[in-house]
Every structure is written in C-alpha cells, then in structure tokens.
Structure 1
Amino acid sequence: MNIVIIDTGCANLTSIQVAIKHLGYNSIITDNPSIILKAKKIFLPGVGTAAAVMKVLQKKNIINIIKELKQNVLGICLGMQLFFNFSEESNGIKTLGVMKYPVLRLKDTNLSLPHIGWNQIKFQIAHPLFKNIPNYSRFYFVHSYIVPINEYTLSTTTYGINFSSIIQKNNFFGVQFHPEKSGNIGSQLLKNFLEI
C-alpha cells in the first residue's frame, strides 16, 4: 500500500513512520504533490503552532492539494485542528477549512495547560476506526487547543470541558491525541485507519 506522511516540518514525522512500520507497512515522508496524490492513505501530522505549520504548507504550495484530497487522510493532533477553518491561536489564524468550525483555546482555571498525558475517549457512534478498541480507552494527549463537539465528532474526551477527540468528514479523519505515542491501543487505531 502506498502510504504518505505529509512533510509538515514537524518533529514527530519519524515516530509516525516507525509506528506504521511496526504494523508491517512502509510509508514515505514527502511534500511532493504527485506522490501525495498517488497515495492510498495519507497522514497529516502536526506539532507546534497552527501558524508555523500553515506557513510551511503555504511555502510548499500544497494547501489546495490537501483540501481537495479524495483518499482517506488522518490528521494527528494539530493536523486534525488544521482541517477546521480557523484557530484562536496567535490572535486568530485561517486554517484549511475542510470543516467549518473554529479551534478554540482550552480554558480551565483548575487544570494545568497544556493538557498532557493519558486520557479516555468516549465513542459517540459505532465506527470501523474503533475496531478492537474498547470504549473509554486511554490515549496520549498534548495540546492547548480543542475542537468543539460538532456533527463530525466520533469520540469525545473530558479535560475540564468535553471536546472532540476523534472527528470525520467524508475522507478526512482526525485524532486530537498521538496514536504513535499511545502504545498498543494507538497501534490498533493506526491499523484500523490503514485497513478502512
């Protein structure tokens, strides 16, 4: 299977590639439009700020290519947030706009930010992405911004407030956590995505 990890210039590209390799699949890290367009499955990773990653994607001239992909794409952490149309980060930044909702700063006075560590996900519907994953499984999170619960939400997580931890609109899937850092349960989710 032709699997592409889009080169967003982030630090976690190799750890995603290694996690995919453990499942018996090879992947390529690239920003080459023709290779991206020929891929069967695509990953959009993100670490850092929305502004920095959007700048990288703009410089590489692949924003429209990502928005118009017809293959299944999995956005990871910030990668998921970029699928929405606006982030409150950096006094407001326009993102990819695949889904028309804002990404909001996680506000909670009693809990430390960013939200770092293991937390549960709660399924909203049955879905092939959840095959062999029990409800309330724990995944590893690192983030300060959230996607509000909306019609594309597949699972929710609570950290002070409830937010979307997995989303899907058509061929665009997103997870707020890091499956590549979430042990066996994270591997199962990656496997499920690759086999959908």
Structure 2
Amino acid sequence: MHDTVVIDFGMGNLRSVAKALECAGARVRVSGDPRDIRAASRVVFPGQGAMGACVTRITEHGLAEAVREAARNKPFLGICLGLQALFDFSEEDGGVPGLGLVAGRVRRFPVDERLPGGERLKVPHMGWNQVAFPRAHPLLAGIAPDAWFYFVHSYYVCPDDAALVLGRTDHGRTTFTSALARGNLVATQFHPEKSHRAGLRLLANFVSWDGQAMDSVE
C-alpha cells in the first residue's frame, strides 16, 4: 500500500478527491505540510478557484518548492487548478505567474463567441464532455478512447510542447488540452473524482502507477 498525499493549500475539493482516491485503493493523507509531501510515495495537487489565490497560498504556506520537487521526482497528478498552476503564466486575475513547471500559458475561453444556433458559448465550461486521447499512457488503461469526464473551468492550458498533450476536448470552436503527461507527471483539466467509472479507473491506475511513462498500454 502506497502513501498518497493530497496537497492542502486552503482551496479545492479536498474531501471528494481524498474519498475517490480511497475508493481507488489508496491510503490517503490530506496535508499542507511540505515534509509530508516530500515523504509521500505519490502526490495529488487538486484545486478549484482562482489562479492568483492558488499560487499565493502555495507560496505563503511554504509549499511551492515541495510541489516542484514532487512534480519532478514521483508519481504526480494535477487536477483542474492543479493543472493550470503548473504553467508559466495565466491570463486570470489580470495576469499571474504560475509555478513554471510546464512551459506555456493559461487562456480564457472567449465569452463573446456565438455558437451556430446563435446562443453564446457557455463560460465557465461546466458539465460532461468527451476527451479524445491521442496517445496511450498507463493512466488510461481500461478507459475508452472518447470517454466522458466532468469539467468546471473558465480557463484552459496551452502548452508550448504539443508532445505533452494527453487529452483534447472541444468547447465551442476551441479545441483545448484537457490532459497532459510528461514523465512522472500527469495533469487533467477535468475532475476524475467527479467522473464516475472513467474517473475512478484513472485514479486507480494512478494509485498503482510507478511513475514511468510507457509507449503503450494494454
């Protein structure tokens, strides 16, 4: 049994993430102590809310370097804001720097976009949507190629390196990165803890994952 730490920085749906991980077989600790993050076998970085407040709280709680270390050295899963905060910069809150672990920017969906029927694009993007997976990964084992996951967000990530893209989703005329993977790090814009069977399968795959990327999965 591995120790999985869910990072507590005072924001996010920590209880639902922890409960879903427990259902997936993890022994979970919710903690805002850098020592627990460094000692954990695997780390989950969840979050809901604004990017500026997220990065500020991570910094004020003395967690930034522990998060960076975990994202480089052990199985690491970012969820929603925990994906966006990994990037260099976000347009949210007038423009704020992220943790700088992934090169790229976080952009806002166009609020003035009109759909073919004349209605405005719904922002935030909220509810169920499909994710297309352009490549295989151990965390996707047993998940359908166009599975449905649950989203709640107004901003989306734009990585500089297209090779990092693990999932893509359409919202209006925008096709955005809904999951990325690099080495021991995976992060999703959708909420696996709210995504029923597909989400629980992804979390179960994470709990048993050794952090090694593979060219293919069965």
The two structures have a TM-score, normalised by structure 2, of: 0.87
Task: Using the TM superposition, give the Cα deviation of residue 137 of structure 1 relative to its aligned residue in structure 2, in angstroms.
Answer: 0.4
Give CA-to-partner distance per residue, 1:63-105, whole Å, 9 cap, x none: 1121122111100001001111100001100001101100111
Count of residue pairs brought into register by the alignment: 196
Task: Using the TM superposition, give the Cα deviation of residue 56 of structure 1 relative to its aligned residue in structure 2, in angstroms.
Answer: 0.8
> Which residue number corresponds to residue 140 of structure 2?
130
Where do 5+ consecutive residues of structure 2 fail to align?
115-120, 210-218
- State the SS of the aligned residue for 1:185: helix
- Kindly report which structure 2 residues correspond to 1:39-50, keeping only aligned pairs within 5 A, or say none: 39-50=40-51
Give CA-to-partner distance per residue, 1:14-69, whole Å, 9 cap, x none: 00011011123220111111111111110001100011111111111111121122
Q: Does 1:162 align with 2:172?
A: no
Give me the whole-angstrom Cα distance separating, in 2, the residues matched to 1:24 and 1:42.
14
Give me the whole-angstrom Cα distance separating, in 1, the residues matched to 2:69 and 2:138.
23
> Which residue number corresponds to residue 119 of structure 1?
129
- Kindly report which structure 2 residues correspond to 1:182-193, keeping only aligned pairs within 5 A, or say none: 182-193=195-206
Larger Rg: 2
The two structures have a TM-score, normalised by structure 1, of: 0.96
Calculate the aligned-residue CA RMSD, in Å: 1.1
Contact 2:24–2:207 at 8 Å: present in 1 too? no
Task: Using the TM superposition, give the Cα deviation of residue 170 of structure 1 relative to its aligned residue in structure 2, in angstroms.
Answer: 2.1
Give me the whole-angstrom Cα distance separating, in 2, the residues matched to 1:95 and 1:22.
31
- State the SS of the aligned residue for 1:17: helix
Give me the whole-angstrom Cα distance separating, in 1, the residues matched to 2:104 and 2:60.
25
Give me the whole-angstrom Cα distance separating, in 1, the residues matched to 2:103 and 2:129.
26
Whichever residue aligns with residue 188 of structure 2, its letter is: V
Where do 5+ consecutive residues of structure 1 fail to align?
none
User: Structure 1 residues 82-91 or 142-151, which shifts more?
Assistant: 142-151
- State the SS of the aligned residue for 1:125: coil
Give me the whole-angstrom Cα distance separating, in 2, the residues matched to 1:10 and 1:60.
12
Whichever residue aligns with residue 68 of structure 1, its letter is: E
User: Structure 1 residues 103-112 or 154-163, which shifts more?
Assistant: 103-112
Give me the whole-angstrom Cα distance separating, in 1, the residues matched to 2:123 and 2:105.
19
> Which residue number corresponds to residue 77 of structure 1?
80
- Kindly report which structure 2 residues correspond to 1:1-196, keeping only aligned pairs within 5 A, or say none: 1-69=2-70, 70-107=73-110, 109-110=113-114, 111-148=121-158, 150-160=162-172, 161-196=174-209
> Which residue number corresponds to residue 213 of structure 2?
none
Contact 2:25–2:204 at 8 Å: present in 1 too? no
Contact 1:154–1:167 at 8 Å: present in 2 too? yes
Task: Using the TM superposition, give the Cα deviation of residue 127 of structure 1 relative to its aligned residue in structure 2, in angstroms.
Answer: 1.2
